[in-house]
Amino acid sequence: MDSAKREDYIIRVEDLVVAFDSRVVLNGVSLNVRRGETMVILGGSGCGKSTLLRHIIGLRRPESGKIIIKGRDITQLDNEELSKLLRKVGVVFQSSALFNSISVGDNVALPLREHTKLEESTIQIMTKIKLDMVGLAGYESFMPSELSGGMKKRAAFARAISMDPEILFCDEPSAGQDPIIAAGLDQLILKLKKALKMTIVVVTHEMASMYTIADRVIMLRGGKVIFRGTQKEFKASDHPRVKQFIDRRPEEYSEEEIGRYARALTSNSF
Amino acid sequence: MELFFGSIGRRALDFLERIYFLYRLIVDSLYWTFVAPVVGKGLRVGSTFDEMVKVGVSAVPIVVLISLSIGMILAMQSAYQLEQFGATIFTADLVAVAQTRELGPLMTAIIVAGRSGSGIAAEIGTMKVSEEIDALQSMGFHPIKFLVVPKLIALAVMVPCLTIIADFVGIGGGVVIAVFSLDLGFTRYITRTIFALVFKDIVAGLIKSFVFAFLVGIIGCYMGFKVEGGAEGVGRNTTQSVVVSIFLIILADAFFTAIFYYIW
Ligand SMILES: Nc1ncnc2c1ncn2[C@@H]1O[C@H](COP(=O)(O)OP(=O)(O)OP(=O)(O)O)[C@@H](O)[C@H]1O
Ligand SMILES: [Mg+2]
């Protein structure tokens, strides 16, 4: 990687190592995201995708490694500077993480109310627009507990983009959505990318969604990046795990393994 | 052997980590309460008032009810002893002093620990479990400023206020017994009460209640932030917050009572 090109990367993760107690979850993950591109992170359940996102937005400090956002290593920033940097970052959490004690509209308006000096009427209008974008027009006064899981996810999406962030992180945005809404969210991501030149990082399991939105793809497994490249390269990859993912083949076990598993099960007294 | 020392080491580390977390919580809370508003980082006034209503105003009925009972109990117990000396009028002294110096602040703090301390732990714990705290942080908000400071200020203001109410109502409970059962006469009892109470008694009680408020708030928040593992963890830590704060309230009470008795 020549140094001239390094400047184009809005997010750089270098040799990230993350462990919970003594269990290593990410073991030397590196990735680069260019300004304005959409990067999709794939990987099996529990392989550490959410953990990776949580570290990139500075919620937890890694055991080692660098996380450089817009040229600044966030592992070295103090709270103050990190919080400033985060105002230009939107996050859709896997569990939506709406504030349950305030209405959907207030959820979306909260960042605007706290971080900007906009007039209340302007904030109301902006909130409406954002909710409209995710197909939740008219739901301002609903409480999060009155929404379905999929609607919560969309409300979280609206909240994440309320400050028009430069970078948007989405943890499985289309999980729990019907195909029409899921496709709508994909279109929304494309629109945000085009209109607002947002850099977008999406964790997903949906291959269809990945094919629609991804500029580049990364696949995690066993704490490492086992694939990185464009969609085309992904489809053409002959990495067995990548192929397995594309073909949706289950984990294969030898008869011996199955036998061992069965014995372990039956000998285990519950 | 190695396993043994290993587990001791881990426990010690774990313990130190907790102490450090508590220390950070207290230091950050003080910073965001006293320093941040001055240097222009703001204070969430709106939610502070909301919390005051939750912690204070809505606790008034239960505080009144319990203080009234306590005042009556105190009066009857005192009269039971004083009757032997034909000195039932001193019931007024005993009720007034015990209520303002001791039972007013203590009972109020215990009620608040049960009502609000547990509520705080549950609220913050639930927010932690549902990633709401992470969301706050990811939006560039400081959880201490957002969640902890409004609650602490509300407690620090409202618990002493509730204690003053408890003092009055407790003395009122004494009056009820004195007038209807001891035949002491309303004016006589009140005059005696005013004569017996010194300013110091009330102030000592209020200082205590302020400390108790801080304990309830910090323990509630600490237990909330320490929740791990879903709804079950929330339940566990909520209970813990009540047990620990009541324990610490009583320890602190002993400490301050000793100070007021021997030194002040
Ligand atoms: N706070 C934590 N404490 C201990 N272990 C954790 C913690 N958070 C995550 N882990 C572990 O880290 C691993 C990765 O978790 P993570 O949530 O990142 O998976 P994921 O790839 O997002 O999975 P999914 O697709 O199911 O959301 C898991 O094995 C999990 O047990
Ligand atoms: Mg996940």
What's the gap in Å between the CA of B254 and the closest CA on chain A? 38
| Rounded-to-integer distance, Cα A267 and Cα B14, Å | 35
SS3 content of chain A, % helix, strand, coil (to 5): 40, 25, 35
Residue listed under structure tokens 């008869």: A255
Would you say A47 and A202 are in contact if contact means Cβ atoms under 8 Å apart? Answer: no
Cβ(A48) to ligand 1 under 6 A? yes
Place A39 in a pLDDT band, splitting at 50, 70 and 90.
very high
Residue from B24, B45, B138 whose CB has the most chain A CBs within 10 Å, to mutate: B138
At CA B254, angle to CA B249 and CA B259, rounded to 5?
A: 120
Write down the ipTM of this complex. Answer: 0.85
Instruction: Provide the percentage of residues in chain A whose pLDDT is more than 70.
Output: 96
pLDDT of residue A2: 47
User: Ligand 1 centre and the CA of A49: distance in Å?
Assistant: 8
| Rounded-to-integer distance, Cα B67 and Cα B104, Å | 7
| Rounded-to-integer distance, Cα A171 and Cα A157, Å | 10
| Rounded-to-integer distance, Cα A86 and Cα B178, Å | 65
Q: Does A116 touch chain B (CB under 8 A)?
A: no
Q: Does A60 touch chain B (CB under 8 A)?
A: no
Host domain of residue A118? 36-47+88-252
CA distances from B183 to B149, B158, B169, B180 (A): 49, 36, 20, 6
More confident residue, A252 or A204: A204
Task: Count how many residues are written for chain A.
Answer: 270
CA distances from B227 to A99, B116, B171, B189, B235 (A): 17, 17, 41, 51, 9
pLDDT of residue B151: 95
Mean pLDDT in chain A? 87
Residues with CB under 5 A from ligand 2 (ion): A 50, 94
Mean pLDDT for the stretch of residues A65-86: 89
CA B252 to chain centre: 11
Cβ contacts of residue A39 below 8 Å, gap of 6+? A31, A33, A200, A201, A202, A214, A215, A216, A217, A218
The series of mean pLDDT values per 10 residues for chain B, 264 residues long, is: 80 89 92 85 85 93 96 93 88 92 95 95 94 92 92 96 96 92 88 90 93 96 92 93 96 94 85
Cβ(A27) to ligand 1 under 6 A? no
How is residue A16 annotated by DSSP?
Answer: E
Q: Per the structure block, which two tokens stand in for B249?
A: 């309230």
What's the gap in Å between the CA of B49 and the closest CA on chain A? 16
CATH number, domain of A41, equals 3.40.50.300
pLDDT of residue A5: 58
Q: What is the pLDDT of residues A91-115, one digit of tens each?
A: 999 888 999 999 999 999 999 998 8
| Rounded-to-integer distance, Cα A124 and Cα A110, Å | 11
pLDDT of residue A268: 60
| Rounded-to-integer distance, Cα A31 and Cα A11, Å | 8
Q: Where are the beta strands (DSSP E) in A23-123?
A: 23-34, 38-43, 64-69, 72-73, 89-92
* Positive/negative CA dihedral, A251, A255, A257, A261: positive
How is residue B227 annotated by DSSP?
Answer: -
Q: What is the pLDDT of residues A132-161, one digit of tens each?
A: 988 889 999 999 999 988 889 889 999 999
Domain ranges for chain B: 42-263
Residues of B in contact with A95 (CB under 8 A): 130-131
Burial of B76 (0-12, 13-18, 19+ CB in 10 A): middle
Q: What is the pLDDT of residues A159-200, one digit of tens each?
A: 999 999 999 999 998 887 888 888 888 888 888 888 888 999
Cβ contacts of residue A269 below 8 Å, gap of 6+? none
Ligand 1 site-directed mutation target among A20, A22, A42, A203, most atoms within 8 Å of CB: A20
What SS3 class is residue B54?
helix
pLDDT of residue B4: 81
Q: Per the structure block, which two tokens stand in for A98?
A: 């709406």
CB contact under 8 A, A97 and B134: yes
At CA A23, angle to CA A18 and CA A25, rounded to 5?
A: 40
CA A90 to chain centre: 10
Enumerate the β-bridge partners of residue A221. Answer: A224
Max distance between CA atoms of chain B, in angstroms, equals 75
Cα atoms found within 13 Å of the Cα of residue A178, Cβ hemisphere only: 4
What's the gap in Å between the CA of A215 and the closest CA on chain B? 25
Q: What is the pLDDT of residues A261-270, one digit of tens each?
A: 777 777 765 4
Q: Where are the beta strands (DSSP E) in chain A?
A: 9-20, 23-34, 38-43, 64-69, 72-73, 89-92, 167-171, 199-203, 216-221, 224-230
Q: Per the structure block, which two tokens stand in for A52?
A: 């990776």
pLDDT of residue A1: 46
Place A124 in a pLDDT band, splitting at 50, 70 and 90.
very high
Place A6 in a pLDDT band, splitting at 50, 70 and 90.
low
CB contact under 8 A, A59 and B138: yes
Q: Which of A57, A96, A114 is nearest residue B138 as measured by Cβ atoms?
A: A57
Residue from B17, B131, B147 whose CB has the most chain A CBs within 10 Å, to mutate: B131
User: In this structure, which long-range contacts are made by residues B176-185, counting pairs with CB atoms below 8 Å and at least 24 apart in sequence?
Assistant: B176/B68, B176/B71, B176/B72, B176/B75, B177/B71, B177/B72, B177/B75, B177/B76, B177/B79, B177/B91, B178/B75, B178/B91, B178/B92, B181/B76, B181/B79, B182/B75, B182/B79, B182/B88, B182/B91, B184/B88, B184/B89, B184/B91, B184/B92
Among B119, B178, B173, which residue's Cα sits nearest to residue B151?
B119
Number of domains in chain A: 1
Among B68, B69, B182, B62, which residue's Cα sits nearest to residue B113?
B62
| Rounded-to-integer distance, Cα B89 and Cα B71, Å | 15
CB contact under 8 A, B132 and A89: no
How is residue B44 annotated by DSSP?
Answer: -
| Rounded-to-integer distance, Cα A167 and Cα A201, Å | 8
